[in-house]
Amino acid sequence: MTLEILTANSLAPVRHGFFTRRGGASSGIFTGLNCGLGSSDQQEIVTINRARVAAAMQVPPDHLLTVHQIHSATALPVDAPITAPISERPRADAMVTATPGLALAVLTADCQPVLFADAQAGVIGAAHAGWRGALDGVLDATIIAMEGLGATRANIAAVIGPTISQAAYEVSPEFMQDFLATDSENARFFTEGAPGKMQFNLPGFGLARLRGAGIGRAEWTGHCTYTDEERFYSYRRATHRAEADYGRQIAAICL
């Protein structure tokens, strides 16, 4: 099956893609393009899936770069392939580069995959932004790291890919308090849900952080990972079904 790749005009002409689960070699609960080396899927199958993504990005497999994601606010500048096993890779949640031929990639399964580009300066970035990383500043850190490589904030475009939507993201009032403790205006990202629960707007929060940082353009593709099972993996959906594990989709960008 052909890979399905979502793109955004605002990142053009930089090569990029938010890959859905379609077109992969994995089976069972991982059926599709599972690119998570940290999953319990067969590693040789995950390697095949990642090689397909690398081919689509027009880079060798070892030039499709991922880090050991830990829900941090760390953005890592890179200028060479990262070849260490996943457990030994740098612990970070974003990468930036000005080196052509490196495809920066992040893995998600409800968290926000965010791709950045200053096409004029030739600087790109990719961030994994769950609620913790977004609240702690991983998107801001990515922008700052891009500026360190010559990007201009006003020329940066950022696109949030498929992520969990507000209608599917039920949280506790205690969860909301973490956001209100940082800024009382964050209340606008929550609505009342079931009794004693709130619904959190993760992509709305991400867009607000990006736009507040003063970049040239920020948008969300509008795709929900939880509700569209045919196209996306979802950690929360797998949890609700008591499944043993879940796949990870990939988003990548390359100069």
Summarize pLDDT for 233-252 with one digit per residue, the tens. Answer: 999 999 999 999 999 999 99
**Number of structural domains found in the chain:** 1
The answer as to whether 146 is a domain residue is: yes
* Model pLDDT, residue 1: 64
Query: Minimal CA–CA distance to 140: which of 211, 202, 196?
Result: 211
> Which pLDDT band holds residue 23 (cuts at 50, 70, 90)?
very high
17 part of a folded domain: yes
Region of residue 83 (left: phi > 0; alpha: psi -120 to 50; beta: else) = alpha
CATH code (residue 15): 3.60.140.10
- What mean pLDDT do residues 23-37 have? 95
What's the CA gap between 205 and 190, in Å, rounded? Answer: 10
Averaged pLDDT, 198-222? 97
Residue 173 covered by a domain: no
In a domain, 45, yes or no: yes
pLDDT surpassing 90 at residue 75: yes
pLDDT of residue 85: 79
Summarised one tens digit per residue, pLDDT across range 139-155 is 999 999 999 999 999 99
Q: Does the residue 187 lie in any domain?
A: no
pTM of the model: 0.96
| pLDDT averaged over every residue in the chain | 96
Supply φ then ψ for residue 235, to 5 degrees: -60, -45
Helices (H), strands (E): how many in the chain? 6, 14
| Coil/strand/helix, residue 234 | coil
Q: Does residue 73 contact residue 212 with C-beta atoms inside 8 Å?
A: no
Answer whether residue 183 is part of any domain: no
Q: Is 188 contained in some domain?
A: no
Residue 196 lies in a domain: no
| C-alpha torsion angle, residues 160, 255, 132, 92 (rounded to 10) | 170
Q: Give the pLDDT mean for 1-19.
A: 95
Task: Find, among 66, 83, 72, 68, the residue nearest to 19 by Cα.
Answer: 66
**pLDDT tens string 222-236:** 999 999 999 999 999
- What's the pLDDT band for 86 if we cut at 50, 70, 90? confident
Report the C-alpha dihedral over residues 65, 34, 36, 11, rounded to 10 degrees.
40
- Determine the pLDDT at residue 84: 79
Residue 158's pLDDT band, with cuts at 50, 70 and 90, is very high
Least confident among 1-5, 7-11, 41-45, 166-170: 1-5
- Let me know: does 199 contact 167? Beta carbons within 8 Å: yes
- Domain of 235? 5-165+201-254
Q: Which residue has the tokens 């990006």?
A: 210
